[in-house]
Structure 1
């Protein structure tokens, strides 16, 4: 077995991972947009509107970067190099944290 065969699995793991990133990005973008609209129309504090909009922005950025990330992962796997999560993980974390902050703002202001 060659070095590349040891590192590279012939399955579709990287493609499934790409789809998972796409699902995460779409959920953040659409959920953030919807929540932003709801928060603005229902009179929630500006903080809720801003953090939901930030979640939508993070989702949009992740969606745009999906192709680049996939190519980087493929190159690292074929080259036997370690994977570097880079900014994508930061955007996913920030988007998720924004959703939580917006939800908490919503829960504590609605009576």
Structure 2
């Protein structure tokens, strides 16, 4: 389906999705770095590891989102699907690491 100008993208769905991935990646990176720093400052260096994984997952997502945007545009133009399997697994791993770190932190402080 193309618009009257020949653009195969009838809406801004791709841009909104890309921005959502960017927001997720930035939030994961920033919160992971902040939580890892707080863990080290509070003399809990073991907790820096899962929060470091969160920051790393966010950084990987941010890089992949930039690289993936052009592939997504090509796929949309040619009417091919482009799955987000690897990106979803990286986001899942980062979220799991954040939950594990938060759980250990709460149990440690209780």
Query: When the two structures are superposed, what TM-score results if normalisation uses the length of structure 2?
Result: 0.87
RMSD over aligned Cα, in angstroms?
1.6
* Higher mean C-alpha deviation, range 35-44 or range 15-24: 35-44
Q: C-alpha distance in 2, partners of 1:86/1:71?
A: 17
Aligned residue number for residue 32 of structure 2: 32
List runs of 5+ in structure 2 lacking aligned partners.
none
Pair 1:96-2:95 in alignment: yes
CA contact (8 A) 2:32 2:98 kept: yes
Pair 1:16-2:12 in alignment: no
Q: How do residues 1-111 of structure 1 correspond to structure 2 at under 5 angstroms? A: 4-5=1-2, 8-44=8-44, 46=46, 48-111=47-110
Q: Pick 1 or 2: higher relative contact order, CA cutoff 8 A, min separation 6.
A: 1
State how many pairs are aligned: 106
CA contact (8 A) 2:9 2:77 kept: no
**Pairwise CA distance, 1:82:** 1.7
List runs of 5+ in structure 1 lacking aligned partners.
none
